[in-house]
Amino acid sequence: MKIKTGLSVLSWVILSFLVLTWGSSFILIKRGLEGYSPLQLALLRISITCIFLLPFAFKSIKKVTLKKFGLLAIVGIVGNGVPAFLFAQAETGIDSSFAGILNSLTPLFTLIVGLMFFQYKAKWYNVAGVIIGLAGTVGLMSISGNKTLEFNFSHGIYIIVATLMYAVNLNVIKRFLKETDAITITSFAFLAIGIPALCYLFFATDFVTVLQTNPKAVSSLGYISILGVFGTAIAVILYNMLIKTSGVLFAASVTYMMPIVAVFWGIEDGEPFEFIYLFWIMIILLGVFMVNYVRKRVHSS
Protein backbone atom coordinates (compact mmCIF):
# COMPACT_ATOMS: atom_id res chain seq x y z
CA MET A 1 0.00 0.00 0.00
CA LYS A 2 1.43 3.35 -1.02
CA ILE A 3 1.30 6.32 1.29
CA LYS A 4 0.33 9.62 -0.21
CA THR A 5 3.13 12.11 0.42
CA GLY A 6 2.22 14.92 -1.96
CA LEU A 7 0.17 16.88 0.53
CA SER A 8 0.82 20.60 0.34
CA VAL A 9 1.87 22.82 3.22
CA LEU A 10 -1.51 24.55 2.89
CA SER A 11 -3.30 21.24 3.54
CA TRP A 12 -1.40 20.76 6.79
CA VAL A 13 -2.03 24.37 7.80
CA ILE A 14 -5.78 23.97 7.20
CA LEU A 15 -5.84 20.68 9.09
CA SER A 16 -4.02 22.24 12.05
CA PHE A 17 -6.42 25.19 12.04
CA LEU A 18 -9.45 22.89 12.07
CA VAL A 19 -8.09 20.73 14.88
CA LEU A 20 -7.30 23.77 17.04
CA THR A 21 -10.56 25.55 16.20
CA TRP A 22 -13.00 22.67 16.57
CA GLY A 23 -11.06 21.23 19.51
CA SER A 24 -11.32 24.62 21.23
CA SER A 25 -15.02 25.11 20.54
CA PHE A 26 -16.05 23.29 23.72
CA ILE A 27 -14.08 25.58 26.02
CA LEU A 28 -15.55 28.54 24.11
CA ILE A 29 -19.04 27.21 24.83
CA LYS A 30 -18.09 26.91 28.49
CA ARG A 31 -16.92 30.53 28.53
CA GLY A 32 -20.05 31.66 26.69
CA LEU A 33 -22.23 30.06 29.36
CA GLU A 34 -20.66 32.31 31.98
CA GLY A 35 -22.69 35.21 30.61
CA TYR A 36 -25.69 33.65 28.87
CA SER A 37 -28.17 30.83 29.17
CA PRO A 38 -27.80 27.79 26.86
CA LEU A 39 -30.68 29.06 24.71
CA GLN A 40 -29.18 32.55 24.37
CA LEU A 41 -25.76 31.10 23.57
CA ALA A 42 -27.21 28.92 20.82
CA LEU A 43 -29.21 31.81 19.37
CA LEU A 44 -26.16 34.09 19.44
CA ARG A 45 -23.95 31.47 17.80
CA ILE A 46 -26.46 30.90 14.99
CA SER A 47 -27.13 34.62 14.49
CA ILE A 48 -23.45 35.59 14.35
CA THR A 49 -22.66 32.79 11.91
CA CYS A 50 -25.62 33.81 9.73
CA ILE A 51 -24.50 37.44 9.59
CA PHE A 52 -20.95 36.45 8.69
CA LEU A 53 -22.17 34.17 5.89
CA LEU A 54 -24.68 36.64 4.41
CA PRO A 55 -22.34 37.78 1.55
CA PHE A 56 -21.88 34.15 0.49
CA ALA A 57 -25.65 33.59 0.52
CA PHE A 58 -26.30 36.67 -1.66
CA LYS A 59 -23.60 35.53 -4.06
CA SER A 60 -25.21 32.10 -4.44
CA ILE A 61 -28.85 33.18 -4.42
CA LYS A 62 -29.42 32.29 -8.10
CA LYS A 63 -28.41 28.69 -7.40
CA VAL A 64 -31.16 28.07 -4.85
CA THR A 65 -34.74 27.27 -5.86
CA LEU A 66 -37.62 27.49 -3.41
CA LYS A 67 -37.72 23.70 -3.11
CA LYS A 68 -33.99 23.51 -2.44
CA PHE A 69 -34.24 26.31 0.12
CA GLY A 70 -36.77 24.23 2.05
CA LEU A 71 -34.33 21.33 2.13
CA LEU A 72 -31.51 23.66 3.19
CA ALA A 73 -33.71 24.95 6.00
CA ILE A 74 -34.08 21.38 7.26
CA VAL A 75 -30.30 20.99 7.05
CA GLY A 76 -29.92 24.19 9.07
CA ILE A 77 -32.29 23.04 11.80
CA VAL A 78 -31.05 19.45 12.08
CA GLY A 79 -27.36 20.02 11.43
CA ASN A 80 -26.79 23.37 13.14
CA GLY A 81 -29.72 24.90 14.99
CA VAL A 82 -30.79 22.20 17.43
CA PRO A 83 -27.24 20.83 18.02
CA ALA A 84 -26.03 24.32 18.97
CA PHE A 85 -28.54 24.35 21.82
CA LEU A 86 -27.89 20.72 22.79
CA PHE A 87 -24.13 21.25 23.17
CA ALA A 88 -24.69 24.38 25.26
CA GLN A 89 -27.22 22.59 27.47
CA ALA A 90 -24.88 19.61 27.93
CA GLU A 91 -22.03 21.77 29.17
CA THR A 92 -24.13 23.09 32.03
CA GLY A 93 -23.40 19.75 33.70
CA ILE A 94 -20.35 18.10 32.12
CA ASP A 95 -16.79 19.24 31.47
CA SER A 96 -15.84 20.78 28.13
CA SER A 97 -13.19 18.08 27.59
CA PHE A 98 -15.81 15.36 28.05
CA ALA A 99 -18.06 17.14 25.55
CA GLY A 100 -15.21 17.23 23.02
CA ILE A 101 -14.63 13.51 23.38
CA LEU A 102 -18.32 12.66 22.96
CA ASN A 103 -18.40 14.72 19.76
CA SER A 104 -16.16 12.11 18.14
CA LEU A 105 -19.19 9.77 18.09
CA THR A 106 -20.46 11.49 14.93
CA PRO A 107 -18.83 9.03 12.47
CA LEU A 108 -20.30 6.11 14.41
CA PHE A 109 -23.84 7.44 14.16
CA THR A 110 -23.28 8.41 10.52
CA LEU A 111 -22.69 4.74 9.73
CA ILE A 112 -25.67 3.60 11.82
CA VAL A 113 -28.05 6.05 10.13
CA GLY A 114 -26.63 5.15 6.72
CA LEU A 115 -27.15 1.44 7.33
CA MET A 116 -30.70 1.89 8.62
CA PHE A 117 -32.09 4.46 6.18
CA PHE A 118 -29.70 5.09 3.29
CA GLN A 119 -28.75 1.60 2.09
CA TYR A 120 -25.14 1.83 3.21
CA LYS A 121 -23.01 -1.27 2.83
CA ALA A 122 -20.57 -1.96 5.65
CA LYS A 123 -17.97 -4.58 6.51
CA TRP A 124 -17.92 -6.45 9.78
CA TYR A 125 -15.11 -4.28 11.13
CA ASN A 126 -17.15 -1.11 10.49
CA VAL A 127 -20.04 -2.50 12.53
CA ALA A 128 -17.61 -3.73 15.20
CA GLY A 129 -16.24 -0.19 15.35
CA VAL A 130 -19.70 1.13 16.26
CA ILE A 131 -20.00 -1.36 19.11
CA ILE A 132 -16.49 -0.62 20.38
CA GLY A 133 -17.01 3.14 20.19
CA LEU A 134 -20.29 3.00 22.09
CA ALA A 135 -18.73 0.72 24.73
CA GLY A 136 -15.93 3.24 25.17
CA THR A 137 -18.51 5.99 25.59
CA VAL A 138 -20.33 4.12 28.35
CA GLY A 139 -17.01 3.42 30.06
CA LEU A 140 -15.96 7.06 29.95
CA MET A 141 -19.38 8.22 31.15
CA SER A 142 -19.13 5.92 34.15
CA ILE A 143 -16.02 7.69 35.53
CA SER A 144 -15.74 11.14 33.92
CA GLY A 145 -15.56 14.17 36.20
CA ASN A 146 -15.75 12.00 39.34
CA LYS A 147 -19.51 11.83 38.79
CA THR A 148 -21.92 8.93 38.39
CA LEU A 149 -22.88 7.31 35.12
CA GLU A 150 -26.47 8.47 35.68
CA PHE A 151 -25.41 12.11 36.11
CA ASN A 152 -23.03 12.13 33.14
CA PHE A 153 -25.60 10.39 30.94
CA SER A 154 -28.32 12.88 31.91
CA HIS A 155 -26.16 15.66 30.42
CA GLY A 156 -24.14 13.68 27.87
CA ILE A 157 -27.34 12.50 26.22
CA TYR A 158 -27.69 15.99 24.76
CA ILE A 159 -24.41 15.56 22.87
CA ILE A 160 -25.29 12.02 21.85
CA VAL A 161 -28.54 13.32 20.34
CA ALA A 162 -26.60 16.18 18.69
CA THR A 163 -24.11 13.80 17.08
CA LEU A 164 -27.02 11.66 15.90
CA MET A 165 -28.52 14.76 14.28
CA TYR A 166 -25.15 15.54 12.69
CA ALA A 167 -25.20 12.03 11.27
CA VAL A 168 -28.68 12.45 9.80
CA ASN A 169 -27.64 15.80 8.36
CA LEU A 170 -24.52 14.38 6.69
CA ASN A 171 -26.52 11.58 5.09
CA VAL A 172 -29.20 14.01 3.86
CA ILE A 173 -26.58 16.27 2.30
CA LYS A 174 -24.83 13.34 0.67
CA ARG A 175 -28.07 11.93 -0.75
CA PHE A 176 -30.04 15.04 -1.74
CA LEU A 177 -27.55 17.91 -2.02
CA LYS A 178 -24.47 16.31 -3.54
CA GLU A 179 -24.63 18.63 -6.55
CA THR A 180 -24.73 21.75 -4.37
CA ASP A 181 -21.43 23.29 -3.29
CA ALA A 182 -20.56 23.45 0.39
CA ILE A 183 -20.54 27.23 0.69
CA THR A 184 -24.07 27.47 -0.71
CA ILE A 185 -25.29 24.73 1.63
CA THR A 186 -23.71 26.33 4.69
CA SER A 187 -24.68 29.94 3.96
CA PHE A 188 -28.32 29.20 3.12
CA ALA A 189 -28.73 26.72 5.97
CA PHE A 190 -27.73 29.45 8.38
CA LEU A 191 -29.77 32.06 6.53
CA ALA A 192 -32.86 29.92 7.05
CA ILE A 193 -32.34 29.57 10.82
CA GLY A 194 -30.34 32.74 11.50
CA ILE A 195 -33.04 35.33 10.88
CA PRO A 196 -35.62 33.59 13.14
CA ALA A 197 -32.88 33.07 15.75
CA LEU A 198 -31.97 36.76 15.69
CA CYS A 199 -35.60 37.83 16.08
CA TYR A 200 -36.22 35.37 18.90
CA LEU A 201 -33.03 36.47 20.68
CA PHE A 202 -34.04 40.14 20.80
CA PHE A 203 -37.81 39.87 21.21
CA ALA A 204 -38.37 36.69 23.24
CA THR A 205 -35.38 36.56 25.62
CA ASP A 206 -33.82 39.01 28.06
CA PHE A 207 -30.61 39.19 26.01
CA VAL A 208 -30.46 43.03 26.04
CA THR A 209 -30.94 43.14 29.81
CA VAL A 210 -28.27 40.49 30.36
CA LEU A 211 -25.88 42.35 28.08
CA GLN A 212 -26.36 45.52 30.11
CA THR A 213 -26.29 44.02 33.61
CA ASN A 214 -24.13 40.86 33.60
CA PRO A 215 -20.44 41.76 34.09
CA LYS A 216 -19.37 38.75 32.04
CA ALA A 217 -21.81 39.33 29.18
CA VAL A 218 -19.38 41.24 26.95
CA SER A 219 -16.50 38.78 27.33
CA SER A 220 -18.88 35.84 26.81
CA LEU A 221 -20.20 37.51 23.66
CA GLY A 222 -16.62 37.72 22.43
CA TYR A 223 -16.09 33.99 22.98
CA ILE A 224 -19.36 33.15 21.23
CA SER A 225 -18.42 35.42 18.31
CA ILE A 226 -15.12 33.54 17.91
CA LEU A 227 -17.09 30.29 18.05
CA GLY A 228 -19.57 31.44 15.40
CA VAL A 229 -17.12 33.00 12.95
CA PHE A 230 -14.10 30.71 13.24
CA GLY A 231 -15.54 27.54 14.76
CA THR A 232 -18.57 27.36 12.49
CA ALA A 233 -18.50 29.54 9.36
CA ILE A 234 -14.81 29.60 8.36
CA ALA A 235 -14.12 26.09 9.66
CA VAL A 236 -16.87 24.51 7.56
CA ILE A 237 -15.67 26.27 4.41
CA LEU A 238 -12.05 25.21 5.01
CA TYR A 239 -13.07 21.65 5.87
CA ASN A 240 -14.83 21.22 2.55
CA MET A 241 -11.85 22.78 0.79
CA LEU A 242 -9.62 20.24 2.52
CA ILE A 243 -11.80 17.34 1.35
CA LYS A 244 -11.53 18.51 -2.26
CA THR A 245 -7.77 19.20 -2.23
CA SER A 246 -6.45 16.45 0.04
CA GLY A 247 -9.07 13.72 0.16
CA VAL A 248 -11.65 12.43 2.63
CA LEU A 249 -9.24 10.26 4.64
CA PHE A 250 -6.85 13.11 5.33
CA ALA A 251 -9.71 15.43 6.27
CA ALA A 252 -11.23 12.76 8.51
CA SER A 253 -8.12 12.80 10.69
CA VAL A 254 -9.61 15.93 12.30
CA THR A 255 -11.96 13.58 14.17
CA TYR A 256 -9.07 11.84 15.89
CA MET A 257 -7.14 14.95 16.95
CA MET A 258 -9.98 17.19 18.14
CA PRO A 259 -10.39 15.39 21.50
CA ILE A 260 -6.69 15.96 22.26
CA VAL A 261 -7.18 19.73 22.03
CA ALA A 262 -10.44 19.57 23.98
CA VAL A 263 -8.78 17.58 26.78
CA PHE A 264 -5.83 20.01 26.83
CA TRP A 265 -8.13 22.99 27.32
CA GLY A 266 -10.04 21.10 29.99
CA ILE A 267 -6.88 20.37 31.96
CA GLU A 268 -5.72 23.97 31.49
CA ASP A 269 -9.06 25.13 32.91
CA GLY A 270 -8.74 22.91 35.97
CA GLU A 271 -11.13 20.16 34.93
CA PRO A 272 -10.39 16.80 36.55
CA PHE A 273 -8.54 14.29 34.38
CA GLU A 274 -7.27 10.86 35.34
CA PHE A 275 -5.09 8.53 33.31
CA ILE A 276 -7.84 5.90 33.23
CA TYR A 277 -9.73 8.35 30.99
CA LEU A 278 -7.08 7.75 28.32
CA PHE A 279 -8.04 4.08 28.13
CA TRP A 280 -11.67 4.85 27.33
CA ILE A 281 -10.71 7.69 24.99
CA MET A 282 -8.52 5.29 23.01
CA ILE A 283 -11.37 2.76 22.91
CA ILE A 284 -13.69 5.42 21.44
CA LEU A 285 -11.10 6.52 18.87
CA LEU A 286 -10.40 2.88 17.94
CA GLY A 287 -14.11 2.50 17.23
CA VAL A 288 -14.13 5.67 15.13
CA PHE A 289 -11.10 4.43 13.19
CA MET A 290 -12.76 1.07 12.46
CA VAL A 291 -15.94 2.82 11.30
CA ASN A 292 -13.96 4.97 8.87
CA TYR A 293 -11.59 2.21 7.77
CA VAL A 294 -11.77 1.21 4.13
CA ARG A 295 -9.70 -1.80 3.12
CA LYS A 296 -7.93 -1.17 -0.14
CA ARG A 297 -7.79 -3.90 -2.74
CA VAL A 298 -4.33 -4.89 -3.88
CA HIS A 299 -4.12 -5.40 -7.61
CA SER A 300 -1.34 -7.59 -8.98
CA SER A 301 0.44 -6.36 -12.06
User: Mean pLDDT, 10 residues at a time, over the chain (301 residues)?
Assistant: 56 87 93 96 96 92 87 91 94 89 82 81 84 86 76 89 88 82 89 95 95 95 95 85 66 76 88 83 85 57 39
Q: What is the pLDDT of residue 213?
A: 95
What is the rounded end-to-end Cα distance, in angstroms, of the chain? 14
Which one, of 284, 265, 186, lies nearest residue 228 by Cα? 186
Which one, of 9, 5, 11, 27, lies nearest residue 231 by Cα? 27
What does pTM read for this prediction? 0.85
Q: Please tell me the distance from the alpha carbon of residue 189 to that of residue 166, in angstroms, as a whole number.
A: 14
Is residue 51 a contact partner of residue 187, using CB atoms and an 8 Å limit? no
Q: What is the pLDDT of residue 87?
A: 94
Q: Hey, what amino acid is at 213? A: T
